[in-house]
Amino acid sequence: MLHGATMHALKGIALQICATFLFTIMSALVRIVSDRVPTGEVVFSRSFFALFPLMALLAWRGEISAAIRTAHPLGHIVRGTIGVCAMGLGFAALARLPLADVTAIGFTAPLLTVVLAAIFLRERVQIYRWAAVTVGLGGVVVMLWPHMSGALDSVEQVLGATFALVAAGCTAGAMIQVRRLTRTETTPAIVFYFQALAAVAGLATAGWGWVVPSVSEAVLLVTIGVLGGIGQILLTESYRYAPASVVAPFAYSAMLWSLLLGFILFAEIPPLLVVIGAAIVIGAGLFVIWRERQLGIERRREEEAATPPSGPAA
């Protein structure tokens, strides 16, 4: 019989994989509706309809008050603004690039988070992680080359690649702000205020060319939001059962899902350079996660060594 800790770790990993799968399906649906529905309208649908499963879970747990209570509303506004930019740019990229390409470029975010954490949070980043970041960014250049070199001869491809890369940077910035918020804010509050602010931001674009969706498009828009909300819940739950260093690597399963869905739904086969670059970025990201885990173990050992033993004095 498996040990309890092992069972919890497996449950966390399973939840992470399920969340990643739902987010990838959501991205595929965004790619489908983006042909006719404006990005702002998609952002609103993604955020507004995500509130329904989120609020249902919070109500079931009795955490509604914890989600609404906040000591730093301005911090949520900053996180929401950066996050909405990331979401909007990511959706704009999906309208212009294959699903797997956008997913691969998005893997840049964890590497950029290391850079931003060193700059804004004054986190100490040792040479090993800087080396991984450098290698990973080299992988980004490899991924972007087919889109930026003119090989595909399309302004839309260049725009899509640029949007995807800037979206990854905004995602990294949002993660830095989330780290700041976790010092005083609860997880329900961070998730709720982002979804609510993103819905308001998306609604604010209604004057810039929203369309009346067809029945099928309306179903897709609602599904996008519900899948996003459920995916967020599963992602949050995965970290309840296992440390980030255990479950985070499985977020890279998004590359497999995006390759499969891109081929099945859109007959998309990414250029070889995109696949090679993605492999480099994933490898660098996994090394950063592994290094974070090692540093965490070392810090715990140092704390234990510095703690005087309890018991009667000798």
pLDDT tens per residue across span 183-204: 899 989 999 999 999 999 999 9
Q: What is the pLDDT of residue 314?
A: 36
Q: What is the pLDDT of residue 183?
A: 87
Give the model confidence (pLDDT) of 236-256 as tens digits.
888 888 777 788 889 999 999
How far is 133 from 142, CA to CA, in rounded Å? 14
Q: Residue 313 — pLDDT band, cuts 50, 70, 90?
A: very low
Give the model confidence (pLDDT) of 261-273 as tens digits.
999 999 998 889 9
How far is 87 from 195, CA to CA, in rounded Å? 11
The domain spans of the chain are 9-298
Q: Residue 49 — pLDDT band, cuts 50, 70, 90?
A: very high
Q: Which residue has the higher pLDDT, 260 or 307?
A: 260
pTM, two decimals, is 0.89
Residue 279, exposed/middle/buried by CB under 10 A (0-12, 13-18, 19+)?
A: middle
- Size (the chain), residues: 314
Query: Is the confidence at residue 60, as pLDDT, over 90?
Result: yes
Residue partners of 88: CB distance under 8 A and separation at least 6: 39, 40, 43
Closest by CA to 224, choosing from 35, 51, 30, is: 30
The mean per-residue pLDDT over the stretch 143-155 comes to 72
Residue partners of 86: CB distance under 8 A and separation at least 6: 167, 168, 170, 171, 173, 174
